[in-house]
Structure formats: structure tokens, C-alpha cells
Structure 1
Amino acid sequence: MKYFQATVQIFLIILTLIIPFYRGNGVKSFNSLAMPPMMGNESLSWKFVPQGINIYAIYSSEPAPMGIADYGIGPNGPYILTTNSWKGVVYLNSVNVNTSEVTFQLNVNLYYTYNDHSYDLFVQNVAVLNVTNKTLFFVDNIWNSTALYANVTGVIGNGRIYSCNSCTTTFYAYLAWNYPGSPEIISFPTTFQLKVDVTTNSQGEPVICFYYNDGYGWIKYDTVTVINAPGASNVHFMVNGYEYTGVGNYFDAELVMAGPPGGHTAYVYSANVGLQLFYWNGHNYQEIKNAYDFGSDTAEKLYNAYVYSAYFTYTGELLSVIISGSGTLGQLWNQNSVEVVQVNSPVYSGYAKIYNFSIPFSDSYMIQGFNFTGGEFIQTLVPTMQYSILVYSSPNGTLEDEGYAPPEYGYVVVNAESFSITPSQYNISLSRSESTTLTLNIIGEGPVY
């Protein structure tokens, strides 16, 4: 897939992948399962900050987990974002590090209230890549971030609760082994996706679902129920720029490349990795509007990683790109430097495509679309491109509506319409040398040339 960035030289992306270290009986060692959270300042536990958290309180320079993150801090100050689903996309093209493994972590915070108390579970969906053997596999972790040194208890899934001696707490983990695509020997370039969902069951208990997709479709490999919180309320993944968690770190959401499990650091000799982070906005998966190039909630880190923002030239979708080099921690983009396109459609639930207006309609079949519901969809895009919008009844359905979005910073609303041409007359009879005027009423979206 092609993408570029205007101010930084573009590199072709070509990567290498990861295999786990196993004991003779096939059971993972502790370090192969644990991705411990980074503990913050105890004085910040559940601290509310009206003007916004300090995102550099834990990591202010490398080494740090590098990639893309939403801290709930935008150009207009802090905000809160809640959702029931996060999705990360990893474009693996090349990687060369000083460790045998690297991790790609989708890290989010599950917030809920129970018996008038607030709880926070640090939820991790992780791809582990053995750089030597080019094997990819997936593992999940759940940690209790409600308070310092809090244990994970009362959770049931495919995995089990482990003891973490180095961090004096317990945590939940499960390794997806002998699943389609996990483990998987890969070649480069390759793309895979991570996803986490949360809902509640009939008892009102939070239920967390873990998925991956590395070419075999979406594989749900673990479903974890929090059985000690029946009747829980306000159950959602939360990004909160006003408040710190119970362990003094962040209510952020992050998709990061980091060192091996167990809190280790990897030095990047060379790499080219693209990352995208999406949340379910109630209608479709939308990329985050305020993006930073580093995470903070995990202890695994990278050193000598340079991160910059880029976009796909055929869709305008934004991404974070990791290469080797001396980097700084900072912002990739914010809601004032991107174009947020909201499309209203007569189609209630369907399939849509948004792409570069310069691409002819005859080539639009090559553009990957997305599902939406509720009669609208919203996308975060680069603001310097004209966009064609096509709305279908389903991925293989008929074209129902179309639209056009101009290049513009900020929020743009488009009302998709059905394209039609209606003549003022349908039957015309002319004798030799006679002429008449025919008016065509054209309904559509886009520039007229």
C-alpha cells in the first residue's frame, strides 16, 4: 500500500516478524506472556485536572512505546471519548532490532462503576513478532489499574490469572496458539489488525472480546467476563484527558510498537511500520482526531525510533510511520489540522467508500470500503484532497448514493444523494431544419467542469 509524507523522505516498507520462545512442553514462560503496565505517580491516582493531564509525566523522551495514541487532549483542551470497540491496523514492512522479539500492542482502558465505585482495567491485545523466525502470534493481558498494586480477580476466559513477581500483582493472560493465523510464519510486507470489544451479559457483567485478523478473517480468540461486577454500569472503553487512572497513568488508547514482553526495551536498527488507530463512533470505525506518536501505559519500550505522520494517496487516510532514527515525543495531528467528513445518507446501513477524487469511477472497485449504520458515517482524513463518496447497500450491493467533499480543514458535512438525470421532455419530434431546447436536470455531488 502506498503512502507518503510531504516533509520527510519516504522509505519503502519491508519488515520482519516474530516467533515465541517456548519451554519443551509448549507452555509459555512468564516473560512471554506479561506486558506489565507502566506505573505512574501515586500522588496522581484518580486525580482530576480541569485544565488537562500532563501527557509527558511518565515518558518525556525515548525509550518509550512508539506509535499512535489518543490521550483525550486536543487543541481546545481536554475531552472524554467513550466507545465499545477499538481497532488497530499494522502495516509491517521491515524491522531490525537488537532483541529477538518486538510487540505491537493495542492498549485501552475499560472503565465501569460497581457499587458506587469506579474501576479501571488495563486491557491489552498484543501481537508478538519473533524477528529471527518471522513468526507472528497473539496474546492478551488484563491488569487492574484501579489502584496501585491491585490484583486481577474475578475474571473468567480462555486464559488464567498469573502472578507477577516483578510488579507484585496478579494479571490475566491468554495465548492464542494453534488458531488460524496464530502462530503464523509471515513474509513481508504484511498487514494485520487487532480489535477489542466490550459489552455486558444478561447479569450486567462486563464482557471483553479479543480479536485479530492476519489474513484469515476476524478470529475471536478470547472472551473474558468480569464475574465480580454483576449489574455494572457505565461500562465502556474510555479516553479521558481530565483524569489519571488509579495507578497514576493515563486513560488513553494506544497502538504502539515496543520491546519484548516482560517490560523490555528494543533498539531499532531499521524499520518501516505504519499504524492506524480507529474507534467505533456509533456508526463506523473512525480514525482518532488527536494523535500523539507515543504511548504511556505499557512498560515495553523502543529506542532510536523516529515517528512521523503520513497518509494514503488514494484514500486520504492518515497513519503513523515508524522508522529508525533519533525521535522526540509529540503530536502527529489534531482535529484542527485534519478534515473530519460526516456523510449523511438515505441508506440506513450499508457500505461506503471515500477516495481521492482524481481516481476515475471505473477504478473505484479497487478502493477498500467500510460498513456503517445509522444513516451516517464519519472519517478522519488529510485535509488537502478532494474526495469522491460512494454509498452501496452492501459490500456486493448496488450503488445507492454518491457525494463529494472539498479539501478543507475541520468538520465538513456532506449529504449523499442518488445521482439522476431527468430531461425536460422525453419524446421530441423534429422536422428538417427545426430545432428545440432540451433541459437536463442533473442531481449529484461534486465539481462541474
Structure 2
Amino acid sequence: MRKKTISDYAGKRRNLSVIIVPVLLIVGVLLITSVSNLSYDHNGLHNISLSGVSGSKSSMSNLKPTRGSNVTVNTRAQTAVNPNEIYNNEPAPMGIADFGIGPNGVPYSYNTTSFMGTISLTNLSTYNQSLGKSSSQMGFQLNVNLFFKDGGNVYAYWVQDVADFNTSDNSFYMVDNIWNMSSTSANMHNSTISGSGTIGNSSSTKFYYYVYEHMFSLTYPAKLTLQINTTTSSSGLPEIEFMFNDGNGMITYDKPIFLFAKNITSGPFFLVDGKQYEPDRYSFYDAELIMGGPGGGTKTTDVYSNVSLQLQYWNGMNYQYISNAYNFGSDTAEGICNVVGTELPQEASLPLSVHIQNGTGKLGQVYNAANLSFLHVYVPFQDGSLVLNGNTYNFSYGKLNLTLPYVSSEMSYELYNSSGRVYSSNISIGKGQNANLEISKITIFENFSLHHTPSNFIWYILINGKNYSTSAKSIVLYLPYGDYNYTVGSNYASIPIANGVGTVDASSTFTNTTIFFAMSSYKVTFNSSGLSQGITWGVSVHNISSKTAVFNATIEFYLPNGSYMFSIQNVSGYSISSNATGSFLINGTNLLINISFTPISQPLGRVPDGRLIGYITPAIIVAAISVTWLYYRKKK
């Protein structure tokens, strides 16, 4: 790739063309014979033979000329840059780009430490006969701009992570470039940077490049991810990480370090700024994932294609899709024609993408923030994921910011932490609107402080329409911010609950909401004696509960401090010698109340009172009849 210049589109000085063209042709022929020199003409395409690499490889060099004299440049802060200043039609670097220009042309800026471009391929064929052996080759470029200040000086570098792709056999290899944009005459030097690559020379402009000595192959449908990170090395120097993933895991293939920058006062970061150009006076502070020729300013043609391109930046918690997308880039000179770049249909199950297919297209903005939806998630745990309508979004530091296609219907979501799913529901977000999903961690503490807690003790809380139960000391649940009514209970109805019905105020993300729902309770044990085996007895604690037991088993109540009335149920054939009714006082200790039952026994030979009447009454009647009969007989 070479750097695109305004002079490419400036009026040609025809009176010099007779001299310039032959000279350039001669220079080009001389340069082709010496690959090691790496000094290429504006449209040079060269094959590089490297140990361990097979196939035709083109140099990824991009020239960095100055802005043409026919363009008026405001070197001060711009009201807004013009994305169409260099390209108005194809061939152009087509794909997805963020120029820092939002709805109605309003500029914005942001910085990040990482950009990630995702290329989803169903099929792709490109062709340019003039490229010879490389006629079916093209390039996918992730182009971003590095910014930092060292000792008060501003430094800007154009950074490229490139997959040189052969559409005839779906093979590719990786190349990176770094260009110095810190001034109109800035260069890269061996004293500037150290990595796996070297310094090349393109029309007196020195740049850094590295060709990764491995070939890779894709099988359709395929996904290829390009990623560029910036960080500081162990020595505190600015560092760039060039990465890619062909589906077999992320590979970091080059990590160049800026050797001179030992007094960093700002950055390093990648900058997108729609209000100003770079210090070289013509380059954009943009980010772009584009398709173009295979290098050296070459162009190619889209024969047929079904490709989607996605561009995301690291927002500090997660990778987020750009909010305003153009279907072309501008900083690179490679281009492609016969391309239609449009936004994918806005469906909740699809990520934000620019869809590439062959056809007659035009350059422009394909989507902006006014037609999207934005979701901001805040949770009380560090790492997790959100599954939204089937798409999974991972995040760190307890936050997640998402740029989403607008959909009129509700979207289903599930929230996960390291232990599993913690919450699920539905959400709807208006067009151009922001929605917050703030989750509170609510901890419900069992605060009975029971002495000799029953081994089978289980308590529950009914909240937000769901019942949570446990035998542990606490229940942890996750709910969106809000007020929630709750009801608390247990499998021991005799244990009173001080605040068994109430409201939880879930208004904090990282601060647990604690509910203390019972006062301290103590065990009151009723112990029976004197009952025969199999006999059932019972106790009622007034206004609390009644319980029964069999034989000499104990009956237990768990009650807070206070005075209580009780009564013992009558048992047939037994009298209660003590404590048939009474009261007790709980004052911070457990109580034991003994209940003695005594069988009701009769004296020896004595007929029980109830049966005595039955025996005596008939005898009296018989005696009366006998006396009467004898009386009348004597009178006769």
C-alpha cells in the first residue's frame, strides 16, 4: 500500500510529462532488479522471495507525498474534515471507516488502545490483468493512526495491518507498515523503531515494514480478524502489536517499539478526530478496514463478492462497533472498483457491518448514530458477558457499552458472570437513543442468629415474582436498579420474622443491598414424660403455633425475647401433674419446660365410677320387685 496524495488528482503539468514519464520508466526498471533496495515507484508492484514463504508477494509500500497545491489547507483546527477530499468515486479503498464525522456532519474525536477489524467472507473474486502473476490478489487493510507526545513534541504515525489475499486459492500472508506523519518531511529511521521488520525507502520516504514469513489459507465461509494494539513496553516505550486471527487463535506477529520516546507525556493511543488533519497536513486521523489492490498503490476490480466488514474499538471495557461509518477509506492509495458497500439490514441478531458485493456503487456514509441504538450495562462483577438476541459480548471492569442496530421489537438478553447466568429479561431501545441496564447485587442475609438451628432449616424470599430459597446464611441475586417488594418465610412457621414483608432499595451497582429480616431467636423445648408408647401429645404457644409429638419426643419452638402463654393438649387416660397451662419468659437464653403426664389409675376391687352406676341400678330394681312380690304373697 502507498500513501494517497492530493497530487494524484491534481492537474498534470503536461509540459513536463515528456521528461518525467521516460525518467520514471527507467527508474522503475532499475528498481525491479534490486528488491533489497525497497525504493519503489508510485505504482510499483514487486515479488519478494523469502525463506519459508511460497507464492507471489507484493511490497506493502505506501508513498507519503505532500498535499497538492490545488487544495487549500487550514493548518489550524478544522471545523470538520472532508472525507471526500481525496476520493469521490471508485476505484477507491472500499470498506468501512470512521472519519470522526457524525450525523449532520458534526465532528467528534476519541482515542483507544486497540482497533479490531473483522472480515466475514462467503465468497470473493478480484482481478486486474495488468498485475500479471498477482492478477487475482487484493489486500485487506486495517489502517489506524498512532498519537503520542514525547518531551512536549507531537508524534503521529500511520499504522497498517495488512492481509495480502489471493482470491484464486484463498491463501494470504501478513504484512505491516508504519509511516511517520509527524511533519511534511518526517521519516522512519533505525534509531526510531525496533521490531521484526526493517526500514524501507519509497521515493526518498523511509518507512518501517515487516513481511510475516508464513502462508495461510481460508475455507469459505471464513472469518479473518485483523487487530492492532498499542501499549508501553517494559521499559516504558511506546509499542505496537500487530495481530491477526484466521479462526485458529490470535497471533501476534510483530511488536515494534519506538526507541527514542523516553519521556512520554501523552499516549500512546490511536486517535480518531474529525476536527483536524495530521501534522503532515493531508492525512486523516481516521480508522479504516478497507479492500484494495495488493500494494504499491495498485487497483483491482471486484468480479463477485459477498463480504461483510466490521470495525470495533476498545472502549476500556469491551470492543464496541463504530457509531458512524463510511464505505470507503482515504489514507491509502490502493483501491478497488465495481464495489457496492451498504449497511447490513438492521436486525437484532446481526452486528453492525458494511456489506460488500460487486456492482456499481458510490462513496458515502452508510450509517450514523442517529439511526442506531446504544446500550450501557453496569454490573457488580468484573468480567462477564451479555448475550443479546444471540450475539455474545464480553466485557471487563463491570461495564459494557454497545452500539447496536435499531430494531423496533424487544430484544432478549441474558447476563452471565464466571459462575453462570445471573439475570435474563427483555429490553427495547429507541432509534438514536441510549438505554442503561444497571444491575445491583442484592445480598439477603439470614440474621436469625439461631441457637441450635434445626438441621433441616430452610428459608426463602419471594421477590420480583421469583422465589429464592436456601439453607445457607445468605441469598445472592442480581436485579436491575429499582425498588422491589419482598416476602420472607421459612419451613419453621413458629419462628417469627421481624420484617418478613418489606421493600428492597436496589439503587447501587457495586454496593451490596443487605436485608436483615428477623430478630434473634431462642429455642424453647417442651420435654414430656410419663406417656405410654404411641401416645400423641401437643403444645400450643398462644398466637404463635401448635405442634404435636409422639410418645416422649420433645417439641421445640424458636422464639425471640418476650413473654408467651402456652397450654398442653389433654391426653385421654392421663392427667398433667404440672404445667398444663402457663407462661414463660425468654430473655436471651434457651428454655426447657418439663411436662409430666400421669396415667389415671383406680383402687384395687373398685369398679370405676362410670360403670358402678350400671351395676347398682339393675340390682336395686331387682330387689324392689322381689320385696314387693313377698309382701303381697304374705297378705294372701
Relative to the length of structure 1, the TM-score reads 0.81
2 CA distance for matches of 1:233 and 1:41?
33
User: Does residue 138 of structure 1 match 2:168?
Assistant: no
The change in CA–CA distance for 1:160 and 1:312 in structure 2 (over 3 A counts) is farther
1:426-449 per-residue CA deviation (whole Å, 9 max, x = no partner) reads 5799xxxxxxxxx9x9999xxxxx
2 CA distance for matches of 1:150 and 1:428?
78
Tell me how far 1:52 sits from its aligned partner: 0.7
Tell me how far 1:39 sits from its aligned partner: 5.5
Name whichever structure is richer in helix by fraction: 2
Amino acid paired to 1:110: L
Q: Check the 8 A contact 1:38/1:296 in 2, yes or no.
A: no
2 CA distance for matches of 1:203 and 1:299?
35
User: Does residue 108 of structure 1 match 2:140?
Assistant: no
Amino acid paired to 1:146: S
2 CA distance for matches of 1:29 and 1:171?
22
The change in CA–CA distance for 1:141 and 1:157 in structure 2 (over 3 A counts) is same
- Say which of 244, 265, 268 aligns to 2:302: 268
Q: Check the 8 A contact 1:350/1:393 in 2, yes or no.
A: yes
Superposed, which structure 2 residues align to 1:84-103 within 5 Å? Answer: 84-98=113-127, 99-103=135-139
The change in CA–CA distance for 1:372 and 1:307 in structure 2 (over 3 A counts) is same
Q: Check the 8 A contact 1:347/1:400 in 2, yes or no.
A: no
Partner of 2:49: 23
Larger radius of gyration: 2
Residue 295 of structure 2 aligns to a residue whose secondary structure is coil
Residue 371 of structure 2 aligns to a residue whose secondary structure is coil
Q: Check the 8 A contact 1:402/1:417 in 2, yes or no.
A: no
Tell me how far 1:262 sits from its aligned partner: 1.0
- Say which of 371, 383, 386 aligns to 2:406: 383
Q: Check the 8 A contact 2:114/2:314 in 1, yes or no.
A: yes
Q: Which moved more, 1:265-274 or 1:378-387?
A: 378-387
Q: Check the 8 A contact 2:125/2:168 in 1, yes or no.
A: no
Q: Check the 8 A contact 1:160/1:172 in 2, yes or no.
A: yes
Partner of 1:229: 261
Q: Check the 8 A contact 2:302/2:336 in 1, yes or no.
A: yes
User: Does residue 242 of structure 1 match 2:275?
Assistant: yes
Q: Which moved more, 1:410-419 or 1:78-87?
A: 410-419
Partner of 1:15: none
Q: Check the 8 A contact 2:147/2:154 in 1, yes or no.
A: yes
Partner of 1:287: 321
Structure 2: stretches of 5+ with no match in the other structure: 1-45, 128-134, 442-463, 468-485, 493-500, 507-636
2 CA distance for matches of 1:328 and 1:274?
17
Tell me how far 1:371 sits from its aligned partner: 2.3
2 CA distance for matches of 1:302 and 1:442?
60
Amino acid paired to 1:399: R
Partner of 1:408: 430
2 CA distance for matches of 1:406 and 1:323?
31
Tell me how far 1:185 sits from its aligned partner: 2.1
Q: Which moved more, 1:264-273 or 1:35-44?
A: 35-44
Q: How much identity, in percent, do the aligned residues show?
A: 33
Superposed, which structure 2 residues align to 1:20-59 within 5 Å? Answer: 22-23=48-49, 31-36=58-63, 40-41=67-68, 47-59=75-87
2 CA distance for matches of 1:91 and 1:377?
24
The change in CA–CA distance for 1:25 and 1:236 in structure 2 (over 3 A counts) is closer
Superposed, which structure 2 residues align to 1:27-426 within 5 Å? Answer: 31-36=58-63, 40-41=67-68, 47-75=75-103, 77-98=106-127, 99-153=135-189, 154-165=192-203, 168-178=204-214, 183-234=215-266, 235-247=268-280, 248-311=282-345, 313=347, 315-355=349-389, 367-384=390-407, 385-394=409-418, 397-409=419-431, 410-416=433-439, 421-422=466-467, 424=487
Partner of 1:14: none
1:279-304 per-residue CA deviation (whole Å, 9 max, x = no partner) reads 00111000000111100011110111
Q: Check the 8 A contact 1:46/1:245 in 2, yes or no.
A: no
Tell me how far 1:351 sits from its aligned partner: 2.2
Amino acid paired to 1:279: Y
2 CA distance for matches of 1:403 and 1:239?
35
Tell me how far 1:207 sits from its aligned partner: 0.4
Partner of 1:13: none
Tell me how far 1:255 sits from its aligned partner: 0.6
Q: Check the 8 A contact 2:125/2:136 in 1, yes or no.
A: no
Amino acid paired to 1:281: N
2 CA distance for matches of 1:41 and 1:405?
51
Tell me how far 1:379 sits from its aligned partner: 0.9
The change in CA–CA distance for 1:443 and 1:88 in structure 2 (over 3 A counts) is farther
Q: May I ask how many residue pairs the two structures share in their alignment?
A: 399
Residue 318 of structure 1 aligns to a residue whose secondary structure is coil
Structure 1: stretches of 5+ with no match in the other structure: 1-19, 356-366, 430-438, 445-449
Q: Which has the higher relative contact order, 1 or 2, with Cα contacts under 8 A spaced 6 or more apart?
A: 1
1 CA distance for matches of 2:206 and 2:440?
55
Amino acid paired to 1:269: V
Relative to the length of structure 2, the TM-score reads 0.58
1 CA distance for matches of 2:505 and 2:391?
26
Residue 256 of structure 2 aligns to a residue whose secondary structure is strand
1:396-432 per-residue CA deviation (whole Å, 9 max, x = no partner) reads x411233532041121212246787138475799xxx
2 CA distance for matches of 1:293 and 1:442?
49
1 CA distance for matches of 2:65 and 2:287?
14
Amino acid paired to 1:71: F
